[in-house]
Amino acid sequence: MKALVINGPNLNMLGVREPDIYGRSTYDDLVALCKRAGSDEGFELVDVYQSNHEGDLIDAIQRALGAYDGIVINPAAYTHTSVGILDAVKAVGLPCVEVHISAVEEREDFRQVSYVRAACIATITGEGLEGYAHALRLIKEHIQNR
Ligand code: DQA
């Protein structure tokens, strides 16, 4: 069982960017959390990828086909704009969980749309970085139950 965690724009700035919303933990802390949670859940591999570029995120989703059993994705700002990311997740057909560190449902109107959600088995919001561990657990349960 292998999972790929994909993070979109500005998530490399965790710890620096708007700490009142996203907390003081860094991107390296997030990578470590995903690896640790993955091994706790019995994943043989959890890779963590980040890009600020939409096309690179789409390439990463496409490359996941045949290499991973599931995807955890926080498309960040592209959540609210990208049909391309939605189509890529649909194209590979891997189980995918959408994660947001903040409670997007309590924020601005423009954050209320998520394109990728239509291709995801679950959405997790407002759990901070622990939301990624939750997402990996859901991916594992989905894989084991099918
Ligand atoms: C985010 C929420 C998005 O609206 C925002 O653009 C982000 C991060 C979150 O993790 O809470 O960059 O996806």
Q: What SS3 class is residue 50? A: strand
Residue nearest to atom 6 of ligand 1 (CA): 77
- Count other Cβ atoms within 10 Å, centred on residue 34: 24
- Whether the Cβ atoms of residue 105 and residue 125 lie closer than 8 Å to each other: yes
Query: The pTM is what?
Result: 0.98
pLDDT per position as a tens digit, 88-110: 999 999 999 999 999 999 999 99
80 is catalytic: no
Q: Is 141 exposed, middle or buried (0-12, 13-18, 19+ CB in 10 A)?
A: middle
User: How much is the average pLDDT of 5-19?
Assistant: 98
22 is catalytic: yes
Asked if residue 80 has pLDDT above 90, the reply is: yes
Domain enclosing residue 119, as ranges: 2-144
| Of 39, 144, 136, nearest in space to 97 by CA | 136
User: How much is the average pLDDT of 18-40?
Assistant: 98
Asked if residue 111 has pLDDT above 90, the reply is: yes
Cα 127 from chain centroid (whole Å)? 13
CATH of the domain at 119: 3.40.50.9100
Q: What percent of the chain has pLDDT over 90?
A: 99
Catalytic residue among 22, 27, 49, 78: 22
Overall number of domains in the chain:
1
What is the token pair recorded at 55?
């096309």
